[in-house]
Homo-oligomer: A and B are copies of this chain.
Amino acid sequence: MAKRKITVVGGGLAGSLMAVYFAKRGFDVEVYERRPDMRRADIGAGKSINLALSVRGILALEKVGLKEAILENAIAMNGRMMHSENGDLSYQPYGKEGQYINSVSRGGLNVHLLELADENPNVKLFFNHRCLDVDLEKSIATFKDENGEKVTVESDYIIGGDGAFSAVRMRMMKSARLDYSQDYLDHGYKELTIPPTADGKFAMEPNALHIWPRGSYMMIALPNPDKTFTCTLFFPYSGENSFETITTPEQVMDFFNTHFPDAVPMMPTLIEDFFGNPTGSLVTVRCFPWVANKAVLLGDACHAVVPFYGQGMNCAFEDCVVMDECIEKHGDDLDAAFREYEILRKPNADAIADLALQNFIEMRDLVGDPAFLKQKEVEHDLCERYPDLFKSQYELVTFTNEPYAFAQQRGASNTQFVQQLVSEGLTNQLGDRSFIENRLRKHRGEATT
């Protein structure tokens, strides 16, 4: 059988990684990207500047030999550093010793992936090609190139890795009886910068994800290799404190001085950033099916999630791993491979979408709540003492490859277990392994020993 040709729409993170996976299996791959070549032009990679890479994403990179190169330029974040309104700091580790998430540059990672794809003689990359439409029946994709010319591409399969506003999905929405939803948060986001100190150092602890939880809104900051931090303010579009009401430099300064007083001295470009940077929106996209005729969706194109669990990229990369495993399993029968892929991934994409929405509440609100902090402490203690018995939801999502749907279910059950221990005043017995083991089995409905 002649090797088949795959058209990948979108050369962002998911599209370029999947192109590499296809190339390694010997397919002829063409990648069409709307933006210019990031390797040559100094352009924004779109969306956020940095991202938190964790176990699922790392595994996907490892399988294509890119793990070391990426982690070399990453900054480990071992936990959350919470900033209160009066500037007090409190710290929560994300997991056990050695468990951390990695702040990586979206642009840098994307360039690495494009370079790796380009090393394969069976991969062709096309930039400045905006997808206009796809013909699902005939497997033809149409693009507009940089000269405004129409380019028509025929192939055996079309992979839609073209993001939350996917043109491939748009066609499926019109022609393929696609169930679809998009739901926006009432919050938008604004990126702001904390530069290095005068003597060229990080202005805050670099090995942490910083959070300023303020109930109805919050700011976070992730470290970059150039010793800056990229802050993101998640802020309501309207209401008392909102993008609608905070509209002058004076109002911005007042607002920040009142609510983020410890950050203000570190943000010399606050006003320029606030008024110069765009306000981004936050959307959750769900749809099904992900496969229509010879077109298959991947990443944000079929499951854009809000960023509060740091899993958007990790989930998209896991899509690539699962798609590749399905191709491995079904061999030449790509139709069967893609059908299995969508069945395997859909429940997990739904789970991480839910978890990401829940985590927004946790991050902006609960991380400032003593009862919640106590519970997290007990949870952390259990994870440390009984790694074989107990994993928190965060650990399952971030530091394992267990399916997201399992992490959601087991995580909720484990949280409930911890809440019971706390409410029954049993936290003095955390050291008693057989007590914990029996309670846990009972809680999970398993046979007790």
**A interface with B by C-beta (< 8 Å):** 165, 170, 173-174, 177-184, 237, 281, 283
What residues of B have a CB within 8 angstroms of the CB of A180 in the complex? 180-182
What separation, in Å, do the CA atoms of A177 and B165 have in the docked complex? 12
Contact B184–A182 (Cβ < 8 Å): no
Q: Say how far A190's CB is from chain B's closest CB, in angstroms.
A: 15
Q: Look across to chain B and name the residue whose beta carbon is closest to the beta carbon of A237.
A: B177
Residue of B173, B179, B182 near A178 (CB, 8 A) is B182
Residue of B174, B179, B182 near A179 (CB, 8 A) is B182
Q: Say how far A173's CB is from chain B's closest CB, in angstroms.
A: 7
What separation, in Å, do the CA atoms of A181 and B288 have in the docked complex? 12
Question: A178-B182, A178-B184, A179-B184 known; 11 other A-B pairs, CB under 8 Å?
Answer: A165-B174, A170-B170, A177-B184, A177-B237, A177-B281, A179-B181, A179-B183, A180-B180, A180-B181, A181-B181, A181-B182
Q: Name 6 A/B residue pairs within 8 A (Cβ), A-sorted.
A: A170-B170, A177-B237, A177-B283, A179-B181, A179-B184, A181-B182
Q: Say how far A145's CB is from chain B's closest CB, in angstroms.
A: 20
What residues of B have a CB within 8 angstroms of the CB of A170 in the complex? 170
What residues of B have a CB within 8 angstroms of the CB of A178 in the complex? 182, 184
What residues of B have a CB within 8 angstroms of the CB of A184 in the complex? 177-179
What separation, in Å, do the CA atoms of A281 and B178 have in the docked complex? 11
Most buried by B among A177, A179, A283: A177
What residues of B have a CB within 8 angstroms of the CB of A173 in the complex? 182
Q: Say how far A335's CB is from chain B's closest CB, in angstroms.
A: 16
Q: Which 10 A-B pairs have the closest CB atoms?
A: A181-B181, A177-B184, A180-B182, A179-B183, A177-B281, A179-B184, A165-B174, A180-B181, A179-B182, A173-B182
Q: Say how far A356's CB is from chain B's closest CB, in angstroms.
A: 17
What separation, in Å, do the CA atoms of A180 and B180 have in the docked complex? 8
What residues of B have a CB within 8 angstroms of the CB of A181 in the complex? 179-182
What separation, in Å, do the CA atoms of A403 and B184 have in the docked complex? 28
Q: Look across to chain B and name the residue whose beta carbon is closest to the beta carbon of A182.
A: B180
What separation, in Å, do the CA atoms of A298 and B303 have in the docked complex? 29
What separation, in Å, do the CA atoms of A174 and B283 have in the docked complex? 11
What residues of B have a CB within 8 angstroms of the CB of A177 in the complex? 184, 237, 281, 283
Q: Look across to chain B and name the residue whose beta carbon is closest to the beta carbon of A285.
A: B180
Q: Say how far A180's CB is from chain B's closest CB, in angstroms.
A: 5
Q: Say how far A131's CB is from chain B's closest CB, in angstroms.
A: 14
What separation, in Å, do the CA atoms of A179 and B179 have in the docked complex? 14
What separation, in Å, do the CA atoms of A178 and B183 have in the docked complex? 7
What residues of B have a CB within 8 angstroms of the CB of A237 in the complex? 177
What separation, in Å, do the CA atoms of A174 and B167 have in the docked complex? 11
Q: Say how far A366's CB is from chain B's closest CB, in angstroms.
A: 25
What residues of B have a CB within 8 angstroms of the CB of A281 in the complex? 177
What separation, in Å, do the CA atoms of A265 and B112 have in the docked complex? 69
What residues of B have a CB within 8 angstroms of the CB of A179 in the complex? 181-184
What separation, in Å, do the CA atoms of A165 and B177 have in the docked complex? 12
Q: Say how far A227's CB is from chain B's closest CB, in angstroms.
A: 35
What residues of B have a CB within 8 angstroms of the CB of A183 in the complex? 179
Q: Say how far A354's CB is from chain B's closest CB, in angstroms.
A: 16
What residues of B have a CB within 8 angstroms of the CB of A174 in the complex? 165
What separation, in Å, do the CA atoms of A179 and B178 have in the docked complex? 16
Q: Say how far A339's CB is from chain B's closest CB, in angstroms.
A: 13
Q: Look across to chain B and name the residue whose beta carbon is closest to the beta carbon of A165.
A: B174
What separation, in Å, do the CA atoms of A127 and B283 have in the docked complex? 36
Q: Look across to chain B and name the residue whose beta carbon is closest to the beta carbon of A282.
A: B177
Q: Say how far A433's CB is from chain B's closest CB, in angstroms.
A: 48
What separation, in Å, do the CA atoms of A269 and B254 have in the docked complex? 76
What separation, in Å, do the CA atoms of A181 and B174 have in the docked complex? 13
Q: Say how far A303's CB is from chain B's closest CB, in angstroms.
A: 15
What separation, in Å, do the CA atoms of A283 and B281 have in the docked complex? 27
What separation, in Å, do the CA atoms of A179 and B170 have in the docked complex? 15
What separation, in Å, do the CA atoms of A177 and B182 have in the docked complex? 9
Q: Say how far A188's CB is from chain B's closest CB, in angstroms.
A: 8
What residues of B have a CB within 8 angstroms of the CB of A283 in the complex? 177
What separation, in Å, do the CA atoms of A20 and B165 have in the docked complex? 36
What separation, in Å, do the CA atoms of A165 and B174 have in the docked complex? 7
Q: Say how far A169's CB is from chain B's closest CB, in angstroms.
A: 11
